[in-house]
Amino acid sequence: MDLRSDYLIVFSDSQTIDQPVLELDLRLKPEERERVWFPDKHDNAADGYLLVEGTVMRSGEQYCAVRLDRQITPQSQSGSPFISQKTGKVIGTWSCARPAKEHFYVFLTPASHLSKVIREAKDRPMLREVIGRADKQ
């Protein structure tokens, strides 16, 4: 499985940031068995989410697999960040999920690849040109 093409990065010409911003983890990949947090959407929570903990089960350059500590109900969470409890930075973003009988697994687009794409970006295509397009890497 290769999830390195499953993302959408939106650039802004504005330099004004008035809210805290999550940072991408620049390591090539997180450690297996590393603990993470996932902000699960929750309408009744003060911040709009509840933190769910999980464990990195597989870690590679093409994808990361995280097993959540509890079952959740997926709800339009593609692109949501997974945050390392070790570094406090984003190790990847939700690409797809697989509920299993006892565990819930989420597969991530690695932050290291997102960081590389941002660094190497040479142009800014129109959104209508990239939605639904999956280029081969």
Question: 4-13, 40-49, 72-81 — which is least confidently predicted?
Answer: 4-13
Please check whether residue 78 lies inside any domain of the structure: yes
Domain of 44, CATH number, reads 2.40.10.10
Please check whether residue 44 lies inside any domain of the structure: yes
For the stretch 60-69, pLDDT in tens is 988 999 999 9
How many beta carbons lie within 10 A of that of residue 96, not counting itself?
15
Q: β-pairing, 35-41 with 49-59?
A: antiparallel
Range of the domain at 86: 35-130
Q: How far apart are CA 133 and CA 127, in angstroms?
A: 11
Question: 10-19, 66-75, 100-109 — which is least confidently predicted?
Answer: 10-19
Please check whether residue 20 lies inside any domain of the structure: no
For the stretch 21-51, pLDDT in tens is 788 898 999 999 999 999 988 888 888 888 9
Q: How far apart are CA 90 and CA 73, in angstroms?
A: 21
Please check whether residue 66 lies inside any domain of the structure: yes
- Name the pTM for this structure: 0.79
At 9, is the pLDDT very low, low, confident or very high (cuts 50, 70, 90)?
low
- How many domains does the structure of the chain reveal? 1
Please check whether residue 24 lies inside any domain of the structure: no
